[in-house]
Structure 1
């Protein structure tokens, strides 16, 4: 293959590097190295995974026939195939270096045959391979029933193979076969050519009442594979399929019914879901910060905690589990590194909160596409199901399946969608090796979750969702999302029942303020906030004075401020801070002894063990935070003060964990300039290799290497003549490399030369030159 690669032009080689970047990283030295990389099983498997069903069908046809194969032979073996479609497929296979040679002499490399499915085109293995493992007594039965003389191995296998290659022999055997035998063969030929059979390796003498499957094994029309399986020999399968063993041509993807919507409908729905996803993610992480759930000994989050989070978030548990896994992969959630770790938002979450809504959504959407977790595995809550956030829900192909389903959605008409089963059918044609029925559940959840997160709207890709799937830069994605979102507004509509309606997306400043002074009651196209005594107290605790609360509603409400709200703010404002708590361990002071008497005699505060220190001071051994919490639960409204007696208005910073550092592997890709540079290096490497192999006038010393005097003489001669040299050089790390250079000057024990590989001037220490020769050009 290396010689064939050398014969290809630079544009084709650059395209090969783009299609199979794993073979070009790190950069190969020459074409022989590239050919070796292209033959590595893992690299071949990756290339095979990107083939369509038609590409695979053509490759199967090439592997079934003699080598080298032809495009015309593949067309003849495939019903309804057109030669143009076959050549299109062979060109793609050739671009991936899975085959080489012209269409009239196509070669399939051995590594490709090894990495491909062992059952080519759904056919079993050749008889020569299947019967080679038969014992002597089993061979005797098959040889006898095929009217062949007894022979030992390997002659017996050869005789059976020759007999099964005869269509006349197979036709005669099938004509004599008992009822039901042909149905068994066709069933194996129509799907996987392997079936289960107890005691398959026990071959019996033929009798009139013999079961059809036993008759087939005794006549070699089915071969036993171990003690419990049988396989249909390839020769029998080819006979059953007739003149078109590859079956109907699958040159085009399946046609499915689609539903098309307007761009505004899709983008509008997706934008609403995107806002909800960001809001729910924020609230979920706030809940985790408040609950501080512990990390299970086996990893993950307990079922009780996940159910509680789902209930407080007011979503299905499948949705809250999805957000948990996205948050962890995005680095917004992580366990603490302590003796008894707990789950907490990370410092990255605090940074995420300062981003725009569009940037926050992109973080969520990108993490979902790339994360290895299948969150739905932990949804049922049974004893056998893995816990959320545990490694047991991770699957190697999860991210690839999501991306392929989104790419399938992107491949149909714009602003259109189709049933998930129909999309899976298209994906199975596009990636037959990977999108098998086993990934159906993952595929269904991928489409569902994409809608929940706002990547799709009405299950059709939105403009920002399509850009995300196409790999657009982050700025483009956020710009498209901004265009689909409604313009932010800076007002709400206050209602008499102490609710505030935001009829659109609020400005970031007003949204943050509303999160302090009210709770979200419902979300959607319009968000309904509920104002309560607890939310007003929360605002006052954060340092917002009563006057600022009145100003907030007067400025940002387009409806009159309800009188009940004004009274509520004033009433809470008068009582707020009347009690002040501090650490003594903790004390409670108040200018009104009556208020202190109420706290002292309150039975719900008995656990705090309050005792009077002075007429206006009580003390306790409880922590100040516990004291404040207990007083608030009892209906009091205390405030905290510091050691100087100054009221502490700012709330304590919430606990945070450090983001989990994970190595994320992304496939290496090369742009056009990088591919072209790699091709130039490959050409230079070939010249170096050729020059080294055919070098003349090699200078050598007695024991290996070269003498310094001889090396200097040759270097100085090359400088004066402008001749190119091939030299073996050991760098500072001890790595031996072969270089093709043109010396420019020699001075101070160093040679300054133009390196043909890097195309720049390099300095070589003469004492590190192992051997040197004139390059033949």
Structure 2
């Protein structure tokens, strides 16, 4: 949850209605009423988070939900560079924000400004009040937070002497003859707000004075040393240039100058959308092949994790050594292993289980699903990731092991890149203009290029991008919606894997073997290679392992015939018979331990040199004893080439089950909330209480109790939290702990007691208490 804040430690007074200045006549809620059914529906489709229950039941509630932190963050991610720059200009101009004024501040044509403002209005990020343009409070505060620390000329002038004001007016090219202090202040405000006037003043500065001016604008002017020259001297230069006003011996930057300087830096700020060329079409089977390879590799990884688990580092994640082992075992590149681990974790298929990572309970259902559904679950998880799985560098240039999450803007870049390239346009060209399509990222050019490269590499691995264009499955992914699997079903049809049993005691599995076939091969054979055609080899040891796990010879033959749809090769049939004939002829009885068998085999065991460590002693011609436990004795005998079976003290055979590694099922998973369609909500609102009326349904006791507490939440957020408590629904909160650190948590509230909220925290997977006063924002979860 990104937080467009009003400023350090400040939040707008949201419950008392939107602030109005002298020119404002239309509030956000009133502007929403005037949209009409068609435009209101389009706005709700562009802001789908407000469709989640509890849905707003009045335009006042809708305005507050659209002004929420999480809602604004999601909407801003979809904005282009022109929209962000225009929105900031509107916020800086405040009451004077009109299309001509914004165009003048930005030095851009009015048609481009109109287009950007219309897009902001369509997304509920702005509205028109006649000629004037207005923004929601929280968004305006967020866009102007770097200049809001500066005071306007009119405020500074109260502490300035008339001579200093006259000097500033003359420095900026104005006349002062006959002007008293009020007129001087008004004239100075006019000059400082003029982009051309400030531009000439800045252009006339020396390099040292310009550096000092930039430091002051960034808020560091009074705190950072100015190496190589006296900072006081440079401030005097800025005062004489009319850019700073002297206050108690120190130069202060007026807000008007900061705004004008920002406009100067942008020059011709608005460019319109970059012209992206159409990409050359690629064969459809390229994307399909990549998607099938991904599913095959991911399934192989999870099958391996189910058999033995993936070794976890103490601090979390799968280390390079374990990834190298998996790459060798699965015949894959190490970077692919890291991508698969991240995807499996993000899709909820892999989780930590003690010292290892293992498949979750949902893996079996995913594995048996249609390819389109499996790909959709993985692709959607990748789309939502906030970091790049193939670029896991952290601050000290070390790598964070997968699947440990990272704080990154790579996900925002990925989504902007694919949205820009959708519709057959060049992905490479979209990447070259990613700064326009994703203006909110803060990476320098080289860092941004690395994340664009990671996004394209991952997209090709998933089949989302084919060549230089977004593939058909990728187009469906970008379009969104809950039925991605159904729409991709025809593009990724079911391809039944084939299993060929060969006379050289190998099995070649082409395509993706079924879960039953994978389990059988894992029990009775050893993998030799993985890929499009995986090879497994049967041996005496592997067949004996299947018998140890409880398979009978007839069951093994029957299952092998069923999965291969043909008779067994004679060598394999003979191997099963030979192992079955010897299997269990020697038995290990748990005394600690007693070995029972035929006289000849007992004699052979007793005289086998490698078994001397078991300290065997003959109790009878057919009985040996060992001071060691049955597990050690069984392992020693099998290593020496024997095929023993374990028995309990009563002589009953113990079937050695191979435990599958499983991650524990979370005590509570995040629940998806019910949601309405945009058309349904528009009809409800337009038929509701009207533009000024709020919903007249009585507030719940929980809502009243929350409202009585000291809290930074607005009424819409209080309603969400109260609904979550009353209906046991999940919400996402921005929480500030005792140390002042902020975290985003998905929680399921249980009850409110005093000033505390008792809730299940999905992040900690445990019950936690949260101080209501420290919950700074609330949004729907799921």
| TM value normalised by structure 2 | 0.68
| Closer, same or farther: CA 526–133 of 1 in aligned 2, 3 Å | farther
Alpha-carbon shift at residue 306 of structure 1 (Å): 4.9
Q: Say yes or no: does 1:527 pair with 2:549.
A: no
Which of 336, 347, 350 is the equivalent residue of 1:319? Answer: 336
What is the match of residue 99 of structure 2? Answer: 71
Partner deviation per Cα, 1:590-637 (whole Å, 9 max, x = no partner): 12x332233334444344443333322233354433332232222222
Is residue 266 of structure 1 aligned with residue 287 of structure 2?
yes
Cα distance, 1:486–1:17 mapped onto 2, change above 3 Å = closer
Write the distance in 1 (CA, Å) between the matches of 2:457 and 2:465.
Answer: 9
Question: CA contact under 8 A between 1:90 and 1:103: conserved in structure 2?
Answer: no
After TM superposition, list the pairs within 5 Å mapping 1:190-589 onto structure 2.
Answer: 198-199=225-226, 203-205=231-233, 215=237, 219=241, 221=243, 235=257, 238=260, 247=268, 249-255=270-276, 258-288=279-309, 293=311, 296=314, 298-300=315-317, 305-336=322-353, 343-355=357-369, 359-371=373-385, 375-376=389-390, 385-390=399-404, 393-395=405-407, 400-413=412-425, 418-419=427-428, 422-434=429-441, 436-437=443-444, 440-458=449-467, 461-474=470-483, 477=485, 480-481=488-489, 483-485=491-493, 487-488=495-496, 490-492=498-500, 494=502, 496=504, 498-506=505-513, 510=517, 512-546=519-553, 568-589=575-596
User: Is 1:630 aligned with 2:636?
Assistant: yes
Aligned length: 668
Tell me how far apart the structure 2 counterparts of residues 144 and 729 of structure 1 sit (CA, whole Å): 59
Match of 2:126 among 89, 99, 108: 99
Q: Tell me, what secondary structure is at the counterpart of 1:577? A: coil
- Using a 3 Å threshold, how does the CA distance of structure 1 residues 431 and 552 change in structure 2: closer, same or farther? same
Aligned equivalents of 1:481 and 1:305: distance in 2? 34
Query: Which ranges of structure 2 fall in alignment gaps of 5 or more residues?
Result: 1-26, 706-782
Decide whether the 8 Å contact of 1:588 with 1:617 is kept in 2.
yes
Change (3 A) 1:199 1:113: same
1:31 aligns with 2:48: no
Q: 1:363 to 1:269 in 2, by over 3 A?
A: closer
- CA separation of 1:507/1:467 partners in 2, compared to 1, >3 Å: closer, same or farther? same
2:351 partner SS: strand
Residue pair 1:401, 1:435 contacting (<8 A) in 2 also: no
Task: Tell me how far apart the structure 1 counterparts of residues 350 and 202 of structure 2 sit (CA, whole Å).
Answer: 65
Which secondary structure state, in structure 1, belongs to the residue aligned with residue 132 of structure 2? coil
The secondary structure found in structure 2 opposite 1:651 is: coil
Query: Do the aligned partners of 2:169 and 2:184 also contact (CA within 8 Å) in 1?
Result: no
The 3 A distance-change label for structure 1 pair 452 and 42 is closer
Could you say which residue in structure 1 is the equivalent of 2:605?
Answer: 599
Corresponding residue for residue 51 of structure 1 = 79
- Structure 2 Cα separation of the partners of residues 165 and 319 of structure 1: 55
Cα distance, 1:119 vs. partner? 6.0
Aligned to 2:18: none
Contact 1:141/1:205 (CA < 8 Å) preserved in 2?
A: no
Q: CA deviation at 1:735?
A: 5.8
CA contact 1:502–1:527 (8 Å) conserved in 2? yes
Distance 2:564 2:697 in 1: 80
The answer on whether the counterparts of 1:521 and 1:529 sit within 8 Å (CA) in structure 2 is yes
- Three-state SS of the structure 2 residue aligned to 1:247 is coil
SS at match of 1:640: strand
d(CA) in 1 for partners of 2:199 and 2:678? 57
Secondary structure of the corresponding residue to residue 67 of structure 1 = helix
Q: Write the distance in 2 (CA, Å) between the matches of 1:734 and 1:169.
A: 53
Residues 508, 536 of structure 2: 8 Å contact kept:
yes
Residues 1:486 and 1:327: Cα distance change in structure 2 (over 3 Å): closer
C-alpha distance in structure 1 between counterparts of 2:378 and 2:699, whole Å: 49
Over the residues paired in the alignment, what is the CA RMSD in angstroms?
A: 5.4
1:675 Cα deviation after fit: 1.1
Q: Distance in 1 between the 2:673 and 2:700 partners?
A: 30
| C-alpha distance in 2 between matches for 1:101 and 1:624 | 82
TM-score of the two chains, using structure 1 as the length reference:
0.68
Are the structure 2 counterparts of residues 260 and 134 from structure 1 closer, same or farther at C-alpha, using a change threshold of 3 Å? farther
| 2:168/2:240 contact within 8 Å kept | no
Distance 2:232 2:659 in 1: 81
CA displacement at 1:551 relative to structure 2: 7.1
Aligned partner (choices 99, 110, 114) of residue 141 of structure 2: 114
User: Take 2:684 and 2:644, find their aligned partners in 1: how far apart are those partners?
Assistant: 71
CA positional deviation for 1:454: 4.7
Q: CA deviation at 1:272?
A: 2.9
- Alpha-carbon offset, residue 317 of structure 1: 4.0
Provide closer, same or farther for how the CA distance between residues 574 and 459 of structure 1 changes in structure 2, counting only shifts above 3 A. farther
Task: Answer whether contact 2:298 2:344 (CA < 8 A) is retained.
Answer: no
Which residue, 102, 114, 126 being the options, matches 1:87? 114
> How far apart in 2 are the matches of 1:423 and 1:166?
36
Gapped regions of structure 1 (runs ≥ 5): 207-212, 690-726, 737-777
